[in-house]
Structure 1
Amino acid sequence: MAVSEPSRTVPFHGLRVIDASRVLAGPSCAQLLADMGADIIKIESPEGDENRRWPPLMENGLSSNYAAVNRGKRAMTLNMKAPRAREILEKLVASADVFLHSFLPDTAERLGLGYERMRAMNPRLIFCSISGYGAEGPLRNKPGYDLMVQAFAGPMSVTGYDDGPPVRTGVSFVDMATGLSAYGAIVTALYARQQTGQGTWVRTSLLETAVSMLSYHAIAWLQAGIVPRKQGSGGANQAPYQAFRCQDGHVLVGAPNDAAWQRLCTALNDPALAADPRFATNASRLQHREVLVGLLEAHLVRHPGEHWSALLEQHGVAVAPIQSLDRVLTGAQVLANRMVVMAADADDREWPLLGTPFKVGDSGTAAGSSPALGAHTDEILRELGYSDHDLLDLRREKAV
């Protein structure tokens, strides 16, 4: 399998990030910072991040969920219920540029992880908090998971088919998009710190991310009172623009404007369809969508999807096969854009992981794979000035 070359550009070399977040959103944000060269210290409870144990488990014993968002980090355990754990945390915060957590607001305050306390320790600190439902409002302390927020924030209401049950999007897009949002907020705050010399509090949530991604659906309701319906495999505002049955399954075909519609008719060698007044404009095609779908499928079922992909591409018509992940992750286009990379573990075994969704110069991904629980605890404590005798005491006190 072709993979990316090791990166050379490290925009965040020398930046220290304390990652006290869990599951997907916060860890994915910290992983992006690691990919750009930051030193990420992942703090976990002695039991570990809960997603270490979520199936499926890989050959190296790590959950795919955990491995997906924790490469390139150094891991230490810290028992925040132990008195000396706060002493260690204070030393970490004093040395850090960014502190990232995903505790509920009141839980963070109870653990001594509130913004005001952190700012007093380190005025230059960028403090990033990620929550389920936002830092303000009556639900600020409500736990949030991707699935629940897909329902609560609206995306599930436009997913699936009108006559079907609620459908979850197959990927955890709210979690992962929240990680990207937090990354952007942190980078913005770091840039602002260059101007002011001061840190700040940046915050995001699964709810805010999901609502922002409603995009044109939300604007249609806010400005015209239009409540969108479930859209199946396509979009409600263009036709044809959806999955169609072909000889060996389905293929996505899109002609979202009138010029593309004419090219599609040419590709199908159907001048009568091109001249039919019911399909002359996008508005009229939407009005007669059911008839249109039947006529197009009568053409498409005659050949397999691969035939239509090649033919429609030749005519400049948007087309895409519905690919399984084995095809996606071995495909030339994905590999060419360095979206499959290799990372070595502590035993120098290499494991394939996903690349970053953006590139900065010739940057790539962090060199190491996801760490074992507490793998760097002693190393980090020694950097903070603790002696071997101190380490024994901290373990006896169950602080680490």
Structure 2
Amino acid sequence: MLSGLRVVECSMLGPGAVSTPLADLGADVIKVEPPSGDYIRSMSWPIVRGSSLLHLHISRGKRSIVLDLRTDAGRETFLRLVAAADAVVEAMRPGGLDRRGLGYDRLREANPRVVMLTITGYGMTGPYRDLPSHGIAYDAWAGTVAPVPGPEGLPSIPDHTSIGINAGPLYGATALLAGVLHARETGEGCHLEVAQSDAAAAFDWLRSEGHRAYERPEDEVTGNPADDHERRPPGTAGMSDSVRYQFYESKDGHVLFMASERKFWRNFCSAVGRDDLFERRPGERLADHARGDLALRRELAEIFRERTSAEWIGLGLRGDVPIGPVNTPATIAADPQFADRLPWQPAGRLVADQLPFPVRAVGEAPPAAARPAPAAGEHGAEILRDVLGHDDARIEEIREAGGLGG
């Protein structure tokens, strides 16, 4: 879908994920690396055939060229690549390219239509602008992960979903494509920026906006009618003692029961042969979770223990009841919905089994990365020939001038 889009990427570590979905969708993403290479290949775990899974996933589908941007030859070659590109991704600390004389103003001279996207930890402004950071920092800052007791009661990092390092690149990719569309329409490029910390907060908007809303007067902001307008804790905190929207133990695991609407509650009671439960407490039409009804919760707990998780999912399908499976990262691959929707991109092609880009054209398989993550500089000569039209003699001149880092 993105054939014809070319992106020049200067990235270190995780922020390079901003161009991964673009490569998955067919864009030509050229990863420009320093002579030492991007040390993403040695960061995190597991290490698969000598490279980190982080690199294998984030850099899949991209081509790599090594350029020494401290040299005239390296900078000149970089600018030529920019002139032939739609966008430049700066995925490092703020001003990384500017310090090499390759900031947005210089890039715009080479290509007035170029879109530059800068993705950083805390953004290009603010008191934390230059604070070094890694992935969990953005979630901790945004309030989406908190310490738990560890050895000897010392605070520890819990297992959790990393939001900032995933949401930031997705927001960034969306903005980059918007910038390219704008440039193609107007002939004018732009410089965009996204902070992974901002993205973590934006992704968790319901909780922060909920707290903000509850700072307003009680006559302006209330709970919903099913709770008699009681002002409950924002976000999911108010769900902890829900009954009709709750986790329940099955015969072989857990399921999530979600009868938020009266019609679903009725369907459930009918499907399990317990119409008496509905008659006893039909509840409100919408958003009534029978909160705090421990007697009903105990009764439902006994009912859910009678069947396996798969049997409950089957009942949900037959009876139009929202009952969802509960997986872990270790078990989800065995889930039939996962197998149908997210076919593994195999290790035979990408070194490690990887999940595909999750959006597809209707009726087609998910987009697949065209090539595995590259070694540093693996496609240098190929890029110089294909993109810039250089012959072997010219490539050797650039190499001798130190532009290719050695």
TM-score (norm 1): 0.82
Alignment check: 8 A CA contact 1:156 1:166 kept:
no
Query: How many Å separate the matches in 1 of 2:6 and 2:182?
Result: 17
Structure 2 residue 397 is the aligned partner of structure 1 residue 393:
no
Contact 1:279 1:288 in 2 (8 A): no
Q: Is the 8 A contact 1:35 1:365 kept in 2?
A: yes
Cα deviation code 1:30-49 (max 9, x no counterpart)? 12212222211111233332
Aligned-residue CA RMSD (Å): 3.3
Q: Distance in 2 between matches of 1:126 and 1:83?
A: 23
CA gap 1:251/1:315 in 2 versus in 1, 3 angstroms: same
Moved more, 303-312 or 183-192: 303-312
For 1:148 and 1:228, locate their aligned partners in 2 and report how far apart those are by CA, in whole Å: 25
1:74 to 46, 63, 66: 63
| Letter of the structure 2 residue corresponding to residue 399 of structure 1 | G
Counterpart selection for 2:258 from 254, 258, 264: 254
Name the SS of the counterpart of 2:132 in structure 1: coil
Deviations 1:311-354 (A, max 9, x none): 23322111222234465335553344354234865xxx876432
Map 1:123-272 to 2 at 5 A.
Answer: 123-156=112-145, 168=158, 170-225=160-215, 228=233, 231=236, 235=239, 239-272=243-276
Report how many residues are paired. Answer: 379
Distance 1:31 1:229 in 2: 34
Q: Is the 8 A contact 1:178 1:204 kept in 2?
A: yes
Q: Secondary structure at the match of 1:314?
A: helix
| SS of equivalent residue, structure 1 residue 68 | helix
Compute the displacement of 1:240 (Å): 2.2
- Say if 2:163 and 2:203, in contact at 8 Å, map to a contact too: no
Output aligned runs, 1:364-375, within 5 Å.
Answer: 364-375=367-378
Say which SS state the counterpart of residue 387 (structure 1) adopts.
helix
Please give the TM-score of this superposition, normalised by the length of structure 2: 0.81
Distance 2:157 2:50 in 1: 31
Deviation at 1:107, TM superposition (A): 3.5
Give the secondary-structure state (helix, strand or coil) at the position aligned to 1:341: coil
Residue equivalent to 1:61: 50
Does the CA-based 8 Å contact 2:66-2:380 persist in structure 1?
Answer: yes
User: Comparing 122-131 with 333-342, which one deviates more in the overlay?
Assistant: 333-342
Identify the residue that residue 353 of structure 1 maps to in structure 2: 354
SS at match of 2:397: helix
Q: How many angstroms apart in 2 are the aligned matches of 1:315 and 1:44?
A: 56
Which of 48, 68, 74 lines up with 2:37 in the alignment?
48
Gaps of 5+ in 2: 149-154, 216-230
Structure 2 counterpart of 1:118, which letter?
L
1:77–1:374 CA contact under 8 A, matched in 2: yes
CA separation in 1, counterparts of 2:184 and 2:95? 31
307, 314, 330: which one aligns with 1:303:
307
**What CA distance in whole angstroms lies between the structure 2 residues aligned with 1:382 and 1:183?**
27
Structure 1 position 267, deviation (Å): 2.7
Q: Is the 8 A contact 1:45 1:80 kept in 2?
A: yes
8 A contact 1:241–1:252 mirrored in 2: yes
* 1:328 and 2:332 correspond: yes
Change (3 A) 1:77 1:239: farther
